[in-house]
C-alpha cells in the first residue's frame, strides 16, 4: 500500500517514536536513505528509523557537499522519504542554513516534512562536508544560541529527540561539553545523554 491510498500513517509523532526506540536497551540501527526508494528498501529490510544524510543527498544531485543544497531541496526530499516510509527520520540539517533564526526555521520545515530529529552542525559558512579537513567552527555561544532557538520551536503535542555535539576541533566533544557548560542552552549540553 502506498501513501496515496491514505490511512497508512502512524498517529504517534515521529519524534516520540524515535525517542521510544532510543530508550530501549538494544542499539538502534539507522541506515541512510537518500530518496524514498532507498527508504522503502530499508523499511522492507526491517529497519525502524532512517538517517537522511546531507552529503548523500547532495552527492545524489551530482554536487559536492559544500553547502550548495538548500533547505527547500532538503525539506522536499525528507518529505518524500517520510511520506513513503512513515519511519522516524534523523535529518542532517547542515548548519541550519544560517544563524539562530535560520536554524529555527530549518527545524520547523524539517519537522513539517516528517523529521523526528534534526542535527545542526556548528561550522562557519561556507561549510564543508564533515569528513573533510580544515573546517572552521562557530563559537560555543553561537552553537548554544542555535540549540536554544531550535528547542523553542517545538510544536505542542510533539516530542522531539534531541542530540547535540561539535563536529571537530581541538578536544572534540569533551572540550565542547566543558565550553558549553553553564551557557544559554536550556537543556545544557553537559547533560546531553549523547555526549555522556
Residue 37 pLDDT: 96
- Neighbour count for residue 25 (Cβ, 10 Å): 4
Residue 158 pLDDT: 52
pTM over 0.85: no
Q: How confident is the model at residue 147 (pLDDT cuts 50, 70, 90)?
A: confident
Q: Whole-angstrom Cα distance, residue 162 to residue 164? A: 7
| Domain ranges for the chain | 3-191
Contacting residues for 86 by C-beta, under 8 A, at least 6 apart: 3, 8, 9, 10
Q: How confident is the model at residue 170 (pLDDT cuts 50, 70, 90)?
A: very low
Contact 52, 85 (CB under 8 A): no
Residue with more model confidence, 142 or 34: 34
Residue with more model confidence, 160 or 39: 39
Contacting residues for 20 by C-beta, under 8 A, at least 6 apart: none
| Residue 9 reports pLDDT greater than 80 | yes
Q: Write down the architecture of domain 3-191 according to CATH.
A: Alpha-Beta Barrel (3.20)
Contact 66, 126 (CB under 8 A): yes
| Residue 196 reports pLDDT greater than 50 | no
Instruction: Print the SS3 string covering 69-103.
Output: CCHHHHHHHHHHHHHHHCCCEEEECCCCCCCHHHH
**Least confident among 49-58, 63-72, 105-114, 141-150:** 141-150
Residue 138 pLDDT: 85
| Residue 120 reports pLDDT greater than 60 | yes
The H or E element that residue 56 is part of is helix 54-60
Contact 90, 97 (CB under 8 A): no
Q: Whole-angstrom Cα distance, residue 90 to residue 115? A: 6
Amino acid at each position: 500500500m502506498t501513501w496515496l491510498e491514505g490511512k497508512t500513517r502512524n498517529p504517534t509523532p515521529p519524534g516520540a517514536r524515535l525517542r521510544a526506540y532510543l530508550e530501549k536497551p538494544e542499539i538502534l540501527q539507522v541506515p541512510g536513505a537518500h530518496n524514498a526508494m532507498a527508504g522503502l528498501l530499508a523499511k522492507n529490510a526491517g529497519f525502524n528509523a532512517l538517517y537522511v544524510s546531507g552529503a548523500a543527498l547532495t552527492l545524489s544531485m551530482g554536487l559536492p557537499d559544500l553547502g550548495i543544497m538548500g533547505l527547500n531541496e532538503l525539506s522536499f526530499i525528507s518529505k518524500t522519504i517520510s511520506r513513503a516510509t512513515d519511519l522516524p527520520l534523523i535529518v542532517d540539517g547542515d548548519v541550519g542554513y544560517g544563524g539562530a533564526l535560520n536554524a529555527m526555521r530549518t527545524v520547523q520545515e524539517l519537522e513539517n516534512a516528517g523529521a523526528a530529529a534534526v542535527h545542526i552542525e556548528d561550522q562557519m559558512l561556507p561549510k564543508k562536508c564533515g569528513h573533510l579537513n580544515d573546517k572552521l567552527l562557530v563559537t560555543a555561544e553561537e552553537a548554544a544560541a542555535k540549540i536554544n532557538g531550535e528547542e523553542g520551536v517545538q510544536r505542542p503535542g510533539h516530542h522531539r529527540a534531541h542530540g547535540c555535539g561539535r563536529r571537530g576541533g581541538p578536544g572534540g566533544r569533551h572540550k565542547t561539553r566543558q565550553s558549553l557548560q553553564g551557557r544559554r542552552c536550556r537543556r545544557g549540553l553537559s547533560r546531553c545523554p549523547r555526549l555522556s
